[in-house]
Chain A
Amino acid sequence: MKIAVCVKQVPDTWAQKRLDPDDKTLDRESVDGVINELDEYAIEEALQLGEATSGEVVVITMGPDKASETVRKALAMGADSAIHVCDAALHGSDALATSLVLAKVIGDRGFDLAIFGSESTDARMSVIPAMVAERLGQAQLTFAGKVDVEGSTVKIRRIAEHGYDEVTASLPAVISVVEKINEPRYPSFKGIMAAKKKPVERLTLAEVGVPADQVGLAAVASAVESFESAPPRAAGTVVTDEGDGGVKIAEYLSSQKFI
Chain B
Amino acid sequence: MAEILVLADHSGGEVKKVTLELLTLARSLGEPSAVVVGAGAGSTVDALAEYGARRVYVAEDAELDRHPVAPAAEVLVQLVGPHSPAAVLIASTADGKEIAARLAVRIDSGLITDAVQVDADLTATQSIFGGSVIVKSRVTRGTPVITVRPNSTAPEAAAGPCEREDLSISLSDGASRAVITNRVEEKHDARPELAEAAVVVSGGRGVGGADGFKVIEALADALGGAVGASRAATDAGWYPHQYQVGQTGKTVSPQLYVAAGISGAIQHRAGMQTSKNIVVINKDPEAPIFEVADFGVVGDLFSVVPQLTEEVVKRK
Interface residues of A in 101-136 (CB under 8 A from B): 121, 124-131, 133-135
B108 within 8 A of A: yes
- Give the chain A neighbours of B316 by CB distance below 8 A: 259
For the complex, is B162 an interface residue (Cβ under 8 Å from A)? Answer: no
Summarize B's interface: helix, strand, loop or mixed: mixed
B127-145 vs A, CB cutoff 8 Å, 1 = contact: the mask equals 1110111111111111010
- Which residues of chain B come closer than 8 Å to A137, judged between CB atoms? 172-174, 177
Question: Chain A: which residue is nearest B179 at the CB level?
Answer: A168
Q: Chain A residues with Cβ under 8 A from B134's Cβ?
A: 227-230
Q: Residue B132 contacts which of A143, A230, A256 (CB distance < 8 angstroms)?
A: A230
B193 contact from A124, A161, A245, A250, Cβ within 8 A = A161
Inter-chain CA distance A230–B126, complex, in Å, is 11
Q: Which of B272-309 contact A (CB under 8 A)?
A: 273, 277-281, 285, 290-300, 303-309
Q: Which residues in window 155-202 of B have CB below 8 A to A?
A: 172-174, 177-187, 193-195, 199
Interface pair A13/B266, CB less than 8 Å apart? yes
Known contacts A225-B136, A246-B305; is A127 also within 8 Å of B248 by CB? Answer: no
* Shortest beta-carbon distance from A238 to chain B in Å: 4
Contacts of A220 in B (CB 8 A): 110, 140
Complexed CA–CA distance, A54 and B105 (Å): 34
Counting CB contacts under 8 A, is A192 at the interface?
no
**CB neighbours of A129 from chain B (8 A):** 98
B73, B101, B104 — which one has the most chain A CB atoms within 10 A of its CB? B101
Q: Choose from A133, A163, A170 the contact partner of B184 (Cβ within 8 Å).
A: A163
Min distance, Cβ B254 to any Cβ of chain A, angstroms: 11
Q: Which residues of chain A are within 8 angstroms of B315 by Cβ–Cβ distance? A: 250, 254, 259
List of B residues within 8 angstroms of A57 by Cβ: none
Please indicate the chain A residues that have their CB under 8 angstroms from the CB of B113 in the complex.
125-127
Residues of A212-259 at the interface with B, using a CB-CB cut-off of 8 Å, are 220-230, 233-234, 236-241, 243-250, 252-254, 256, 258-259
Tell me how far the C-beta of B308 lies from the nearest C-beta in chain A, rounded to whole angstroms: 4
Chain A residues with CB under 8 Å of B138's CB are 222-223, 225
- Give chain A nearest CB distance to B150 CB in angstroms: 11
A residues within 8 A CB of B267? 13
Are A178's CB and B111's CB within 8 A? no
Tell me, yes or no, whether A139 is within 8 Å of chain B by CB: yes
Query: Smallest distance from the beta carbon of A35 to chain B beta carbons, Å?
Result: 13
Q: Does B70 contact A (CB under 8 A)?
A: yes
The answer to whether A248 touches B181 (Cβ under 8 A) is no
- Using CB atoms, name the residue of chain A closest to B273: A233
- The 8 A CB mask of A170-186 against B (1 = contact, 0 = none) is 10010000111000000
Q: How far is the CB of A134 from chain B (nearest CB, A)?
A: 4
Contact status B94-A143, CB under 8 Å: yes
- How many residues of B are counted as interface, with CB atoms below 8 angstroms from the partner's CB atoms? 101
Closest approach, in angstroms, between the C-beta of A80 and any C-beta of chain B? 27
B135 to chain A, nearest CB (A): 4
B8 to chain A, nearest CB (A): 16
- A164/B186 in contact, CB under 8 A: yes
Given contacts A127-B98, A165-B183, A222-B111, contact A241 B304 (CB under 8 A): yes
- CB contacts (< 8 Å) of A229 on chain B: these are 132-134
A250–B296 touching, CB < 8 Å: no
Asked whether A166 lies within 8 Å of B112 as measured between CB atoms, the reply is no
Q: Determine which of A13, A239, A253 lies in contact with B312 in the assembled complex, contact meaning CB atoms within 8 Å.
A: A253
- A37 proximal to B (CB < 8 A): yes
Specify the chain A residue showing the minimal Cβ separation from B276.
Answer: A256
On whether the beta carbons of A169 and B177 are closer than 8 Å, the reply is: yes
Residues of A within 8 A of B37 (CB): none
Asked whether, in the complex, the Cβ of A131 is within 8 Å of the Cβ of B251, the reply is no
Judged by a CB distance under 8 angstroms, whether A159 is at the interface is yes
A158 CB–B CB distance under 8 Å: yes
- B: residues with CB less than 8 A from A are 11, 68-70, 73, 93-95, 97-98, 100-102, 104-106, 108-114, 123, 127-129, 131-142, 144, 172-174, 177-187, 193-195, 199, 223, 234, 241-242, 244, 247-249, 251, 255-256, 266-267, 273, 277-281, 285, 290-300, 303-312, 315-316
A-B contact pairs, 19 of them (CB 8 A): A13-B266, A99-B101, A125-B111, A127-B97, A127-B100, A127-B104, A138-B177, A139-B177, A140-B70, A161-B193, A163-B186, A221-B139, A221-B142, A227-B134, A236-B294, A240-B299, A247-B311, A256-B256, A259-B223
The 8 closest A-B pairs by CB, nearest first: A241-B299, A246-B307, A163-B186, A221-B110, A250-B311, A127-B101, A222-B110, A246-B308
Q: Which A positions have Cβ atoms within 8 angstroms of B? A: 13-14, 17-19, 37-38, 94-96, 99, 121, 124-131, 133-135, 137-143, 145, 155, 158-170, 173, 178-180, 220-230, 233-234, 236-241, 243-250, 252-254, 256, 258-259
Besides A236-B278, A237-B294, A241-B298, 20 more A-B contacts (Cβ < 8 Å) are A13-B247, A125-B97, A126-B94, A127-B113, A128-B101, A137-B174, A139-B178, A160-B94, A161-B93, A161-B187, A165-B180, A167-B68, A167-B179, A173-B177, A238-B280, A238-B290, A240-B297, A245-B307, A246-B297, A246-B306
